[in-house]
């Protein structure tokens, strides 16, 4: 029996950390605030904040393919 011992190294750059901070924290807060002002409901604002953040991430991914 052979043992396949793999050692994986994940490299996290400062650009990855900055992109996470900007997209998740800042844009998430902005989309949550906008949704809260539109819907006047915390649950809908939370869903709107999540949907807005995910939408921005997917648009960025789609733009790379085009």
Phi and psi, residue 9, nearest 5°: -120, 125
The percentage of the chain sitting over the pLDDT mark of 90, rounded to a whole number, equals 61
* SS3 state of residue 4: coil
User: What is the value of pTM for the model shown?
Assistant: 0.70
**57 within 8 A of 23, measured Cβ to Cβ:** yes
∠ CA 26-28-31, nearest 5°, is 110
pLDDT in tens, 7-27: 889 999 999 999 889 888 999
Chain-centroid distance of CA 26 in Å reads 10
């Amino acid at each position: 029996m052979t043992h396949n011992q793999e050692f994986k190294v994940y490299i996290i750059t400062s650009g990855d950390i900055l992109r996470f901070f900007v997209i998740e924290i800042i844009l998430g807060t902005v989309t949550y605030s906008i949704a809260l002002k539109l819907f006047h409901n915390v649950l809908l604002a939370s869903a709107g904040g999540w949907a807005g953040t995910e939408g921005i991430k997917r648009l960025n991914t789609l733009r790379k393919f085009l």
